[in-house]
Amino acid sequence: MLIEAAVAIGSGVAVHSRSLIAFGADSLIELASSGVVLWRLNVEMRQGREFPESVEHLASRIGGALLFALAAYVIASAALGLWRQEGQEFSGPGLVLTLLAIPIMLVLAKAKIAVADQIGSPALRTDAVESIACAYLSGVVVLGLLTQLLTAWWWVDSITSLAIVLLLVKEGREAWRGEECEAAG
């Protein structure tokens, strides 16, 4: 996840791609969420005590707030790009990264769901949903990058990043409420 975030953000900054930067920032938020899940599992399995639900709820809300902040950044950035009629250059590394992320995230999500069901962990199941959302985000970015490559339309990245906002807000709402997505089942 850290490599994914670094490549996406680095590629996004290099070519001025809002969608790649948003994808990378979402990866950092997912990494933080995974850290909370690992912490919880460590407390429960190795130390033999229950993880406080209040801490898990707070961590979920922080993740949701970060996703809302990212969505606000993407909206402002896309609006500014459209206003100034600024586009981005095509990013080969960004395309390779997002193409690879789709199957990797889906396989990872499937494994997380299987383990979550075995140990009865709603937190791990929710983390699996975030991996599924990452695969969807990857798909949106891939479509945007391919469209930009084939057409060189300056506005494609701003529109693609606005499509990502829909997924970020949905994921943020679920994290804020502590909900699971139906896609995980």
Integer Cα distance of 32 and 62 in angstroms: 10
Q: Looking at the domain assignment, is residue 183 inside a domain?
A: no
Residue 118 lies in a domain: yes
Establish if 126 belongs to a structural domain: yes
Q: What is the pTM of this model?
A: 0.73
Whether the CB-CB separation of 66 and 173 falls below 8 Å is answered with no
pLDDT digits (tens, 9 = 90+) for 116-169: 888 777 767 777 877 888 888 888 889 888 988 898 788 888 888 888 888 888
Q: Does residue 34 belong to any structural domain of this protein?
A: yes
Domain count for the chain, please give it.
1
Q: Is residue 182 part of a domain?
A: no
Residue 17 belongs to some domain of the structure:
yes
DSSP 49: S
* Residue 91: C-alpha distances to residues 1, 15, 154, 171 (Å): 19, 7, 14, 26
Domain that holds residue 117: 2-177
Cα-based angle 135, 138, 140 (whole degrees, multiple of 5): 115
The helix (H) or strand (E) run that includes residue 51 is none
How far is the C-alpha of 149 from the C-alpha of 92, rounded, in Å? Answer: 10
pLDDT at 56: 67
Local confidence band at 103 (pLDDT 50, 70, 90 cut-offs): very high
Q: Is residue 100 part of a domain?
A: yes
Report yes or no on 185 lying in a domain.
no
At residue 90, what are phi and psi to the nearest 5 degrees?
-70, 145
Q: How far is CA 160 from the centre of its chain?
A: 14
Q: Indicate the DSSP class of residue 81.
A: H
The answer to whether residue 54 scores a pLDDT higher than 80 is no
Query: Is 124 in contact with 41 (CB distance < 8 Å)?
Result: yes
CATH number at residue 146: 1.20.1510
| pLDDT, mean of residues 103-109 | 93
> d(Cα 184, Cα 138) in Å, to the nearest integer?
17
